[in-house]
């Protein structure tokens, strides 16, 4: 238990330092984009340079860079992410309105794609070298190289425009009266189904290959050969090998969250879905300095927490990890 406590403390410390580094990087990158108020004088000639300076002072942008950094760092740990220039409300409020919609896409997409990736990866590894393996692996490589936005456009064109099975955009049917909570939830799921399908298909194409490679490595080990000699059925041998091969997928699943957030930005933009991905796109288009900053921080914190949970689970599942680190 002592080894696990030490392992846990090390991982929490590593995640904390990574978060500080991420905060610093976000702070630097956002400020390299320029002053968000510098174009006001061109947008509205009535605004004088003195008025712009007063606005900059309100937002603390008139202070030296190091003071801005420490104030920014302090505010982050207090949960204050600034004030949205476009929405005219606290950044944290804007993000909390959009985050549940993105989680509605990501959580089912991660769950479904993980199950499918494990199953297909294990099966293709077991049938290594056959036509089944070649066909499924080739399809996975094709999907892996497919951009999220292109796949989203194809799905939108086929299932929404031509077949009319799913809505073209949004998260809820506008101006529709819902007579019960169930009908409202059904409408939400109807709108979310196609974006979720895009994320699932794209993710299975990528992470099935990880499981396949891990499974092939496990199948080459001595215990699998011995299990065959003992007369165990193919299904039992495959199940046992898959339990060992799935361990690396714990870490991979956590890392996937970061890549899926990138995919969500493009997917939500195509479907006009009101999640964090769409919010980031809108913030960039509107030059909403503080909203971009806050959105990236929330995304970074989410990915880091997911990685911490994965490390903890991996340490519980494989004691060798916590001893070696």
CATH of the domain at 41: 1.10.3720.10
- Rounded-to-integer distance, Cα 23 and Cα 76, Å: 9
| Domain extent for 227 | 2-324
Per-residue pLDDT at 228: 66
**Cβ contact 275:98 at 8 Å:** yes
Per-residue pLDDT at 316: 64
Structural domain count, the chain: 1
Could you read off the pLDDT tens digit of each residue along the chain, which spans 325 residues? 556 677 677 778 888 888 888 888 888 887 777 666 665 555 556 666 777 777 777 777 777 888 888 888 888 888 788 888 788 888 888 888 888 888 888 888 888 988 898 888 888 888 888 888 888 888 888 888 888 888 889 999 999 889 889 888 888 888 778 888 888 899 999 999 999 999 888 888 878 888 888 888 877 777 766 766 666 666 777 777 777 777 777 767 766 666 667 677 778 888 888 888 888 888 888 778 788 888 888 888 877 887 777 777 766 665 555 544 4
Q: What is the DSSP string of 269-290?
A: HHHT--SHHHHHHHHHHTT-HH
- Rounded-to-integer distance, Cα 161 and Cα 289, Å: 36
Residue given tokens 């030296």 in the structure block: 64
């Amino acid at each position: 238990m002592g080894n696990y406590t030490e392992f846990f403390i090390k991982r929490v410390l590593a995640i904390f330092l990574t978060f500080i580094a991420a905060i610093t990087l976000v702070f630097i990158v956002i400020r390299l984009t320029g002053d968000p108020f510098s174009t006001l004088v061109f947008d509205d000639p009535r605004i004088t340079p003195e008025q712009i300076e007063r606005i900059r002072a309100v937002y603390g942008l008139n202070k030296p860079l190091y003071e801005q950094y420490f104030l920014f760092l302090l505010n982050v740990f207090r949960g204050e992410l600034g004030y949205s220039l476009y929405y005219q409300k606290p950044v944290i409020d804007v993000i909390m309105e959009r985050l549940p919609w993105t989680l509605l896409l990501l959580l089912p997409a991660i769950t479904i794609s993980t199950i499918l990736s494990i199953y297909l990866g294990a099966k293709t590894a077991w049938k290594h070298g056959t036509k089944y393996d070649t066909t499924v692996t080739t399809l996975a490589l094709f999907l892996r190289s497919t951009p999220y936005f292109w796949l989203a456009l194809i799905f939108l064109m086929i299932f929404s425009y031509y077949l009319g099975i799913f809505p073209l955009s949004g998260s809820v049917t506008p101006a529709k009266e819902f007579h019960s909570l169930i009908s409202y939830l059904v409408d939400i799921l109807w709108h979310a189904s196609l974006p979720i399908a895009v994320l699932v298909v794209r993710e299975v194409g990528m992470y099935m290959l990880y499981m396949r490679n891990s499974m092939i490595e496990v199948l080459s080990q001595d215990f699998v050969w011995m299990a065959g000699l003992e007369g165990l059925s193919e299904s039992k041998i495959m199940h046992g090998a898959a339990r060992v091969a799935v361990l690396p997928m714990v870490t991979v699943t956590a890392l996937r969250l970061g890549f899926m957030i990138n995919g969500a930005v493009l997917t939500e933009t195509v479907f006009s879905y009101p999640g964090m991905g769409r919010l980031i796109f809108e913030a960039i288009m509107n030059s909403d300095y503080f909203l971009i900053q806050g959105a990236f921080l929330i995304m970074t914190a989410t990915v880091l927490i997911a990685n911490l949970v994965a490390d903890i689970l991996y340490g519980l599942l494989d004691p060798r990890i916590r001893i070696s680190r």
